[in-house]
Chain A
Amino acid sequence: MNRQAIVAEIPRLRRYARALTGDAVRADDLVQDTLERALGKWSLWRPGNLRAWLFSIMHNLFVNQARSPRTVEYPGDEALQELPTREYQGDALELRDLTRSLAKLSEEQREVLLLVCLENLSYEDAAKVLAVPLGTVMSRLSRGRERLRALLTGSELAETHLKVVK
């Protein structure tokens, strides 16, 4: 394994972690843990898809953290509403809806959606990263997309919307 190759993956790992956790500091902690774990386990790495391998390490860490009682929760609506609201319209508002809606997906759905739609992993690679069968990836993707669609267009956000733009 070559250090430059790992360093080159850091921006992608950060993007994925940011979307996954919704929190910049927690995301970078996750990236740091991933890098440390990857170096510790580098003798186990076989030439292949380095990115997918790093994502799989991150997935394991993320799942373990989510199980641990000390987990920092995905920021709730309260935290997100502390952002300035008045000057934001249009894109920024959509972006916040998106962040908030992502938080409402199950972690499993969020992971699949982000690996496929944001990180552009093949369905097969996503299945390897998450250590689940391909069919599971497809059903999580399907449910995640539909749920996100319902959240973004449906009634679930309507109330908060009114609160934000009033």
Chain B
Amino acid sequence: MISQSISEQELHAYADGRLDATRRAAVKAWLADHPEMRQAVAEWRIQGEQLHCAFDPVLDEAVPARLTEAAKPASRLPLRMAAAVAWLAVGGVVGYAVRDSAPPAPQPSASLARQAALAHAVFSPEVRHPVEVDAAEETHLVAWLSKRLGAELKPPRLSAQGFELVGGRLLPGEAGPVAQFMYQDARGQRLTLYVRRDAQDSRETAFLYAQEGGIGVFYWLDGRFGYALSAEMEKSDLLRVATAVYQQLNP
């Protein structure tokens, strides 16, 4: 019989193999005289083995692509350089400099892309009411959205990229109203520009790209606004439009 007392914590540490040799021997000796606790410790160990039997197979499953994608750092190339690269890329794949060791940069939250894609998915298929205010009333549209977002807002012209303004609408965002401008090309392909009032401090980030259920989104922060351009388009085509948007917003 061991006179020394054994704490419950030590019993767990014993079951988990986390005691040094001295304490392990002491607990083992104590357990020899306490069959009930010995039984409990044995069952705790069996629990651990059962957990491994039940869930270790997950370790051998193929990792879904969406998870490896999510672990990919977005391009940290400065925005202006990205724009320059985009102009140079003629119909080809745009090269992205992805550097693991890049210095920390402000990041627009992924929720910006998600919210924008969601709004795109909801309104872009609309035939009768794609927008609240038609592009024909652009002056009114601009004044209204600027007033609601509390900052001057101007929809970029994308005619050179083949897209005409359809109009805009106001949406509820996570932290206040959000503006959505919709554009359409001759084939009826639509893209939406989602503009959110962000933090007060002036920040600029790289273009980030996300895909949400077939909708591609380029999003970035610039000054007080967060922008997200969404469309069901090839990434390189969408980048071309995003670059044009960025350049018009920063003449």
- Determine whether the beta carbon of A114 is less than 8 Å from that of B51: yes
Q: Is the CB of A40 within 8 A of B109?
A: yes
Verify B67–A117 contact, CB threshold 8 A: no
Contact: A98 with B43, CB < 8 Å?
A: no
- In the bound complex, do residue A98 and residue B100 qualify as a contact, i.e. CB atoms below 8 Å apart? no
Q: Looking at B44, B55, B66, which has the most chain A CB atoms within 10 Å of its CB?
A: B55
- Give bound CA distance, A18 to B109, whole Å: 26
Judged by a CB distance under 8 angstroms, whether B68 is at the interface is yes
When the two chains form their complex, are residues B47 and A145 in contact, meaning their CB atoms are under 8 A apart? yes
Q: Is A61 an interface residue (CB 8 A)?
A: no
**B interface residue count range (under 10 / 10 to 19 / 20 to 34 / 35 or more):** 35 or more
- Contacting residue for B48 out of A19, A40, A99, A118, CB 8 A: A118
Across the interface, which residues of A come within 8 angstroms of B43, CB to CB? 149, 152-153
Main secondary structure on chain A at its contact with chain B? Answer: helix
Contacting A138 at CB < 8 Å: which of B9, B72, B105? B9
Query: How far, in whole Å, are A11 and B60 apart by their CA atoms in the complex?
Result: 8
Q: Are B40 and A3 interface neighbours, CB within 8 A?
A: no
Chain A: interface size category: 35 or more
How many pairs of residues, A versus B, come closer than 8 Å at their CB atoms? 102
Residue of B nearest to A145 (CB): B44
Residues of A within 8 A of B (CB): 1-4, 6-7, 10-12, 14-15, 18-19, 28, 31-32, 35-36, 39-40, 42-43, 91, 94-95, 98-99, 113-114, 116-118, 122-123, 138, 141-142, 145-146, 148-149, 152-153
Q: List 12 A-B contacts (CB under 8 A).
A: A1-B100, A3-B71, A11-B58, A14-B59, A15-B58, A39-B70, A95-B53, A116-B16, A118-B48, A118-B52, A138-B9, A148-B47
Please report B residues at the A interface, Cβ cutoff 8 Å: 8-9, 12-13, 16, 18, 40, 43-44, 47-48, 50-56, 58-61, 63-64, 66-68, 70-74, 100-101, 104-105, 107, 109-110
